[in-house]
Amino acid sequence: MSSLPSPIRVLLADDHAIVRAGIRQILEHAGDIRVIAEAGDGEAAQAGIQQHQPDVAVLDIQMPEASGIEVTRWVRANKLEVGILILSAYDDDPYVLAVLQAGANGYVLKTASPEELVQAVRDVHAGKSALDAVVTHKLMTHLFRQPEPPPVEALTERELDVLRLTARGYTNKAIGVQLGISDRTVQGHLAHIFAKLQANSRTEAVMRGVAQGWISQSAGEIKEE
């Protein structure tokens, strides 16, 4: 008599208890998924991952203490065997790019259907990538809208550093800490980057950096100019 396969063990992290309750109900209703732990912030998520060693961690992208992107970086830096699925309300390209560069296995919007969320967890557990169709379409549209990017003024090494960290989802404050400069200096560098790249937002600046070949699309790989 064959035994049933073990359920997919999931850690769920979101700073809103009511959201966690809804997601938990969706996942456990599938029958082959069991939520073994919950966390209300990024640090609690890290502790829970260490303690419970889940198969998949479903992480909100914006959480106190540590974002879903930062938790993902921490998981990959510590070589933990856990699939990472980011669940987010944001479909902006810099968020998606930062998530993929951090090493996440999937990115699903909170507007996804219950069936899509359950399938994303299954796909991540199976070692597949799980990108929301809306996110994929937006990303591909931005990347391939212009076959040959227009010439732009070259960025300085420090401006490139700021742009790369922006692509990885860092705030101005976090960029300043990484580079040992003030928030005001970071803001000044971003103003110069926007002017040189003729960009009106971080989204445009990052995607034009990708188009110029200064930032790679592949996770964790940053190209030098």
Q: With 60 as the cut, is the pLDDT of residue 74 above it?
A: yes
pLDDT tens digits for range 77-122: 888 889 999 988 876 667 777 777 788 888 888 888 899 999 999 9
Q: Among residues of the chain, what percentage have pLDDT more than 70?
A: 83
80 Cβ neighbours under 8 A, 6+ residues apart: 49, 50, 53
Q: What is the domain partition of the chain in residue ranges?
A: 8-142, 146-225
- Is pLDDT above 80 for 142? no
Residue 138 is predicted with a pLDDT of 59
**How confident is the model over 11-58, as pLDDT tens digits?**
999 999 999 999 999 999 988 999 999 999 999 999 999 999 999 999
Q: b/e for 176-189, b at 16 or more Cβ within 10 A?
A: beebebeeebbeeb
- Considering only CA atoms, which of 190, 196, 93 is closest in space to residue 141? 93
pLDDT number for residue 205: 83
- Inform me whether the pLDDT recorded for 221 exceeds 70: no
The CB density around residue 34, as the number of other CB atoms within 10 Å, is 16
Q: Provide mean pLDDT across the span 188-216.
A: 83
The DSSP element (H or E) to which 13 belongs, if any, is strand 8-13
Examine the pLDDT at 129 and tell me if it is beyond 80. no
The per-residue pLDDT for 115 is 93
**What is the signed CA dihedral for 194, 198, 199, 200, rounded to 10 degrees?**
90
First to last CA, the chain: 61
Task: Identify the CATH number of the domain defined by range 8-142.
Answer: 3.40.50.2300
Q: What percent of the chain has pLDDT over 90?
A: 41
Can you tell me the mean pLDDT for 138-156? Answer: 64
Q: Supply the pLDDT for residue 2.
A: 45
Highest mean predicted confidence (pLDDT) among 1-5, 54-58, 89-93, 139-143: 54-58
199-204: average pLDDT: 77
Give the DSSP per-residue string, 100-157. Answer: HHHT-SEEEETTS-HHHHHHHHHHHHTT--EE-HHHHHHHHHHHHS-SSPPP-PPPPH
Cα–Cα distance measured from residue 172 to residue 28, given in angstroms and rounded to the nearest whole number = 39
CATH fold, domain 146-225, is Arc Repressor Mutant, subunit A (1.10.10)
Own/partner contacts of 96-99, CB < 8 Å, gap of 24 or more, are: 96/131, 96/135, 96/138, 96/139, 97/139, 97/167, 97/168, 97/206, 97/210, 97/215, 97/217, 98/69, 98/167, 98/168, 98/169, 99/61, 99/68, 99/69, 99/72, 99/169
pLDDT in tens, 159-175: 999 998 888 778 888 89
CB atoms within 10 A of CB 29: 10
